Chains A and B, each alone.
Chain A
């Protein structure tokens, strides 16, 4: 079966560079792999993610968003992706448990003292087209010293971050400049 991943990312030299780039970032070991999927495959999956059955959920002092089971897209359980992640992360990634999300105007997630995430590796696969920084909706990763990392939305990109103990994330409130637009992505977390 032909790979649907950009062949540049499957070269041994590329993988080494990716591993080095992740290791260099002490506080937030991470990388964004742009143009990750082959164009046709990405376009097909971009259509699929919009057709999933989303459920809107909100606890106003914690979050507001829509989410759906990502299984029908067959990305998170794809052997090629799991194999590549296993090579990059130097550990066996046999499955990814995650969901599809969309965030639109007035959506957000908040940091919450009573609901802290354990350390882990987040994998975010971005399907958002034409998103501007001024809309909000970026993921912010924050450590206990108050240092932070902001991840801008890039279509057809895979973002990998190793969240150390104490690092929490939130998705910035999406403002009225994004009226009518939706930020789509798949998000999975690998427990440490």
Chain B
């Protein structure tokens, strides 16, 4: 799909903040995505139209979150939205996997992706964590997350992006504090080591996230 056509798509108008729906904005996002270290990533604040993001958060409150625990993580997660019954969440899933939105992400990242996506919501509470890993699995090409809550700097829950040394993460180079309605994407590669720092306060960290596949 042509980027101009994608930007004027009805679903894009409904969901995406107007400030991102022009080629100048996309060119700037593309430049930042490529140049950000320790690996290609970008944060997009005020990403969705405000009424849409509020609707999603409200819809999530009706969803069941299941406990997930292993050596690598402890948090709660919904089932994949591919099979979700909730109307608003289903619509969001369709929007993110739509041809128009995929064209938008491809224009920012210069990566070829398909309309196959994974999507679920995660809830981190006090003591929950996700230790360093690179996300490489099957055909995952771009990881994404939408923050639906906000945490203070001293409450933990930051997304830490690691520098790599000899094939292993060495130390965090960037720490992103969750901010409401911020959408983050990063390129999945042998360098994409990241961590969700333990939440150390009684504040909920809620996100919708997953991967775009190649």
Q: Annotate B39-76 by CB proximity to A: 1 below 8 A, 0 otherwise.
A: 00000000000000000000000000000000110100
A190 within 8 Å of B by Cβ?
no
Measured between beta carbons, the chain B residues less than 8 angstroms from A109 are 71
Residues A62 and B129 in contact, CB atoms below 8 Å apart: no
Q: Give CA–CA (A110, B168) in the complex, Å.
A: 13
Given contacts A62-B168, A175-B198, contact A110 B72 (CB under 8 A): yes
Chain A residues positioned under 8 Å from B131 (CB to CB): 60-61, 108, 110, 173
Instruction: Please tell me if A59 contacts chain B, counting CB pairs below 8 Å.
Output: yes
Tally of contact residues, B, Cβ under 8 A: 20
How many whole Å from A99's CB to the nearest CB in chain B?
Answer: 21
Asked if A61 and B200 sit within 8 Å, CB to CB, the answer is: no
A interface secondary structure, majority = loop
- Scoring B residues 112 to 137 as 1 if CB is less than 8 Å from chain A, else 0, what string do you get? 00000000000000110101111000
Closest to B156 in A: A176
> Using Cβ atoms and an 8 Å threshold, which residues of chain B touch A134?
127
| B127→A60 contact, CB < 8 A | no
The yes or no answer to B193 lying at the interface (CB within 8 A) is: yes
CB contacts (< 8 Å) of B170 on chain A: these are: 60
Do residues B193 and A61 form an inter-chain contact, with CB atoms below 8 A? yes
| Chain A, range 54-69, C-beta contacts under 8 Å to B | 59-62
Interface string of B165-203 (1 = CB under 8 A from A): 000111100000000000000000000010100101000
B195 is contacted by which of A60, A111, A140, A176 (Cβ under 8 Å)? A60
* A175: chain B residues within 8 A (beta carbon): 127, 129, 198
Q: Is the CB of B168 within 8 A of A59?
A: yes
- Type the 1/0 row for A98-130, where 1 means its CB is closer than 8 Å to any CB of B: 000000001011110000000000000000000
Question: For residue A9, which residues in chain B have a CB less than 8 angstroms away from its CB?
Answer: none
Contact A60 B71 (CB under 8 A): no
Residues of B within 8 A of A (CB): 71-72, 74, 126-127, 129, 131-134, 156, 162, 168-171, 193, 195, 198, 200
Pairs of residues from A and B, 10 with the lowest C-beta to C-beta distance, nearest first: A175-B127, A60-B132, A170-B71, A176-B200, A60-B169, A61-B132, A110-B71, A111-B71, A59-B168, A61-B169
Residues of A near any B CB (own CB < 8 A)? 59-62, 106, 108-111, 134, 136, 140, 170, 172-173, 175-177
Chain A to chain B contacts (Cβ below 8 Å), 25 pairs: A59-B168, A60-B131, A60-B132, A60-B162, A60-B170, A60-B171, A60-B193, A61-B131, A61-B132, A61-B133, A62-B168, A106-B198, A110-B71, A110-B131, A134-B127, A136-B127, A140-B71, A170-B71, A173-B131, A173-B198, A175-B127, A175-B198, A176-B127, A176-B156, A176-B200
- 12 more contacts with CB within 8 A, not counting A59-B168, A108-B131, are A60-B132, A60-B162, A60-B169, A60-B193, A60-B195, A61-B134, A61-B168, A109-B71, A110-B71, A134-B127, A136-B127, A173-B74
